[in-house]
Structure 1
Amino acid sequence: MDIKRILGGAVFAATASFLPLAANASCGWSDINLQNARAAVVSPDRVHFVKHGDSANHCPSDGKECRAKAYLVRGDMVLTGTREGDFVCIGYVTARGDMLLEWLPAASLDTPPADVQNPSDWTGTWRVFDNEITIAPKGDALAVAGDATWRRGDNVHVGDLQGVVKPEHGQLAFTSTGDGALPYAQGGPDDCRIKMVRRGAYLLVEDNDKCGGLNVTFTGFYKRGVNKKP
């Protein structure tokens, strides 16, 4: 499902470091997380993103001044998070691997069936921005390997994770030790600790910012079938 958009005004809503936006009514990573994220499907033929709030407007609202140029179409799947009146903060990963964090009218979204909402399949190559996570079956468990990159000008910091783990209660949670995995609870404050869940077409990941160099994080939501960054 490809986004149909004029994306110049939409990509600003997400940064490679996954930092939340600063606005009066912002929609950022903290609004879509492992605890509240749900899959939803766009129901109208076309629905435009709604602009974020700042000191110059009262967005999100249904006023024309809050209507963005970029839009999604019927059948596009998103993640939902925090709700602000009639609007909900959503996440979407484009075919290019960009992560968008935007407002949409809540009435424009339908909830998929339980088997789509909480799918049991994990395997594949998942990407967003420069980050990549591969999950493959290994016996009765799953082998997880990932690479994350943070870029700012000529500065490039990287990180990685790996482990063989089993899903428990719909979640993969473990401590990556560099050559394997320990249970999540056995990790210390300076160890790379990871949690993952599946929602619809997405893999949501949350780490403790200890999985690589400065500013490197796996935190975000990933999608299969996304083009690898050059």
Structure 2
Amino acid sequence: MRRLSISVTFLLTALAAGAAHADNRCGYGDFAYAAQDGVAVYNVSPPTGGRTYFQGDGEGCPGAPSCKLKSYLVTQDEVLASKVGNGWACAWYGKGDRHTVGWLKTSDLIKSAVAPSGEGDWLGAWRFGDNQITITRDKKGFRAEGEATWKGPASVHEGAFKGRIEVKGVAATYADPEGTEPFCSVDMRRVGRYMVVADSGSCGGASVSFDGVYVR
């Protein structure tokens, strides 16, 4: 009985450690998936002015000196944050074709007011890099058509989806017909002028992904 108790305790400890490690993840995919449960716009405002540096999600991060990245932001830069807690926010910053994701101190951020969004705000051609998602509406509801591309050193892989989407306020979902293999699903969430997208990982060729922050 004692051996069983020790084994169970070890297992629970390992699971807790794994969960804790997973909770500190803040890469592009982590940000996009977490955003489907909630995302907000913030402005950078370090209490002492100057710079606020992104931190990575390695062992002991965020918070340890080794977590500090070279990328930084300055006062009034605009970011999106999708996972906030314990004094840190998993944040995305983009300018042109350059994008950065990492942990930022919440003490260096001020939440921005965002105007209410209507159904018509979904419509249009949304772009993220070479990816595009076009949303239209007819008498039966909303439709989306997406195209994604991954460019490797010696090949190009493509992905696509097309069909009805279910829109509920600031969230929308596309899903292939039941029984489709591989099964593609795409979640979209709007905030301000942005649309954050996360897919199932089965919407195209190898390395193809719709994950990202889209604008019109």
Structure 2 residue aligned with 1:190, among 161, 175, 182?
A: 182
Partner of 1:27: 26
Q: Cα deviation per residue 1:133-169 (whole Å; 9 max; x = unaligned)?
A: 1223334633311110112211210011112435135
Whichever residue aligns with residue 26 of structure 2, its letter is C
> Looking at CA atoms only, which structure, 1 or 2, has the larger radius of gyration?
2
Partner of 1:78: 80
Partner of 2:200: 208
Tell me the SS of whatever aligns to 2:167: coil
Instruction: Work out whether residues 135 and 144 of structure 1, in 8 Å CA contact, stay in contact via their aligned partners in 2.
Output: yes
More helix by share: 2
Whichever residue aligns with residue 51 of structure 1, its letter is Q
In structure 2, distance between residues paired with 1:138 and 1:73: 43
Structure 2 residue aligned with 1:49, among 48, 53, 74?
A: 53
After TM superposition, list the pairs within 5 Å mapping 1:4-153 onto structure 2. 26-28=25-27, 29-33=29-33, 34-44=35-45, 47-52=51-56, 54=58, 59-61=61-63, 66=68, 68-74=70-76, 76-83=78-85, 85-96=86-97, 98-113=98-113, 115=115, 120=119, 121-139=121-139, 141-153=141-153
Instruction: Work out whether residues 143 and 162 of structure 2, in 8 Å CA contact, stay in contact via their aligned partners in 1.
Output: yes
State the shift of 1:93 in Å.
2.8
What's the Cα RMSD here? 3.3
After TM superposition, list the pairs within 5 Å mapping 1:213-228 onto structure 2. 213-224=205-216
Instruction: Work out whether residues 81 and 89 of structure 2, in 8 Å CA contact, stay in contact via their aligned partners in 1.
Output: no
In structure 2, distance between residues paired with 1:210 and 1:104: 31
Would the alpha carbon gap of residues 189 and 109 (structure 1) be closer, same or farther in structure 2, given more than 3 Å must change? farther
> What is the TM-score of this pair, normalised by structure 1?
0.66
Would the alpha carbon gap of residues 95 and 41 (structure 1) be closer, same or farther in structure 2, given more than 3 Å must change? same
In structure 2, distance between residues paired with 1:90 and 1:145: 27
How many residue pairs align between the two structures?
A: 190
Unaligned runs of 5+ in 2: 1-20
In structure 2, distance between residues paired with 1:206 and 1:223: 15
Unaligned runs of 5+ in 1: 1-21, 177-181, 225-230
Whichever residue aligns with residue 163 of structure 2, its letter is G
In structure 2, distance between residues paired with 1:211 and 1:32: 16
In structure 1, distance between residues paired with 2:130 and 2:184: 19
Percent pairwise identity = 24
In structure 2, distance between residues paired with 1:166 and 1:41: 28
